[in-house]
Amino acid sequence: MIRTRHLFKLTVAKLRTKPTLLLITIAISGLLFTLLFAAIIVSSGFLKSTTAYLDKSNNGNFLVQVAPVIPDKYTQAPNYDLSIDTIKLLRSLEQKYIAAQTQLYKQKGLTFDYPVDEHILQPSPYADASTPEDMRVIMNGNSPVFQLYLQSLTEQYAATAKNTLPDLTSLATNTYHAKSVDKLEYSSLSNASSVWLEGGKEDFSRYNYAWRPKGVDLGPYGYTISSARTSSYSFYPNSLLAQYLLPTNAIRQTQKNTIPVVITQNEAVAMFGKKLGIGDRPNSITEQAAWAKNLATKVNGETYQVCYRNPTELAMLQKYQRDTTDILNHAGDKTYIAPSLQYALPKTPCGDITIAKDTRTNEQKTQDAANITAQKSVGEYTAPKHELLTFSVVGLIPFESTEQTSTGLNISFDQLFGVTNFSGAIIPEGMWDHKTGVDVLPFSANNNTNQYAILEKANIHTAIVAFGDIASARNFMNHET
């Protein structure tokens, strides 16, 4: 090891022989150490800012969405290879159904007709000849008894289920120290029943589950950023949305009979960008904050409308389309007889579907009226109904596709640090008056007897579990999901 006095002598000698080179070496070393200390100081401040940002995201909570897992045997009905017990259950349900319908119709002075093609068990063309004749059957999914069977399976599961909301709440809070557990609900609206009135116009071709806005992919990302335009809504408690809600402004103070909604920034630009003069999210992270602030200021309180039509009106629209096509295909055919009852499209967005032509005989009209009366008497008639819903934007969710980072550096601050935000179109429960659109928005409103209603009654729901730290959230997911 070199001694200190020798090192000093060597330095003096070096300074005398090569002073310039030594000074350059000292300067470069000093510069490097200066840069190192500067980097440490900047990184320290940046990490503190990042930590504060992450704590603020989702109100400092780490959220986990939990859906109840229901075994397939309670949710899926086998069409073939039916067991003896299943066949016995189906026949028992069918006998009860026939007895109930016969009694109901008899009280109304009517006769219940149960067509053979609606029987729950139909002869199987694939059954082995050695199988007893009364077991050579398949299940008829078009039978009204089929729904009763599915409901019976759901009831069996619900009776002994151990994954109810109270069960989840107890497990998450007592074992994994969750801060809260909130029920997640979905809306009954869909592409098939409602249409976003783009430009104030009702496009009847959009009453279709497969419709998507132009230029939007059909993957999870595409569904997420088109939720409002495709009527895919969910309900969340205000406490989980606080960081996304915008302050009430003068526009919103004057609004009445509107439904509050929180949408993604992407969808806000797609729906209002042209009107408000706002383009897509900039690539530069430094520009995104100003862009987001400008978007939030301008879109706060903006409204859009959706037209809801019930199954009866949808059937009337389908008849109009069939009749119109049929008439065009038979143009010039003198032997063609046009439908006696024809509908006309509404003259205003979300307006009434009217009768364009009615050449039915008096006997036909009387019979049709009698059929409606009979359906009403046994609770099987649904009158035509439509409703114009007005949504008001009250919040924005930062959302960026991770797919966009695969070929470049177009990333957001959220992506850089893995911040997970809510997505879709969300109705804040605490801001909705539960009056506007109450007949069509809640999922259970139009499903009083199906499996969903049974699970609802049994308190079996999808939920959002909030944790105060990521370790607890990960521990919960590793052991319970």
Compute mean pLDDT per 10 residues along the chain, 481 residues long, and list them. Answer: 61 60 62 62 50 55 86 78 89 93 84 90 82 85 89 90 92 93 84 89 80 66 79 87 92 94 94 94 87 95 95 92 92 92 94 95 92 84 93 87 42 44 80 86 58 84 88 90 78
User: Is residue 234 within 8 Å of 427, Cβ to Cβ?
Assistant: yes
User: Is residue 151 within 8 Å of 89, Cβ to Cβ?
Assistant: no
Model pTM score: 0.74
Q: How far apart are CA 221 and CA 218, in angstroms?
A: 8
pLDDT at 31: 67
CA dihedral 87, 92, 94, 96 (to 10 degrees): -170
User: Is residue 447 within 8 Å of 188, Cβ to Cβ?
Assistant: yes
How is residue 7 written in tokens? Answer: 């090192």
> Beta partners for 181?
465
Residues 6+ apart with CB under 8 A from 423: 224, 225, 227, 264, 397, 399
Buried b (16+ CB within 10 A) or exposed e, 221-252: bbbbbbbbbbbbbbbbeebbbebbbbeeeeeb
CA dihedral 125, 126, 131, 136 (to 10 degrees): -40
Pure H helices in 300-377? 311-329, 362-377
pLDDT at 209: 65
Rounded to 5°, angle at Cα 178 from 455 and 477 = 75
pLDDT at 57: 52
Q: Is residue 4 within a helix (H) or strand (E), and if so which, with residue range? A: helix 4-17
Pure H helices in 57-111? 84-107
pLDDT at 44: 54
Backbone angles phi, psi at 124, to 5 degrees: -95, 125
Nearest to 460 by CA among 4, 70, 49: 70
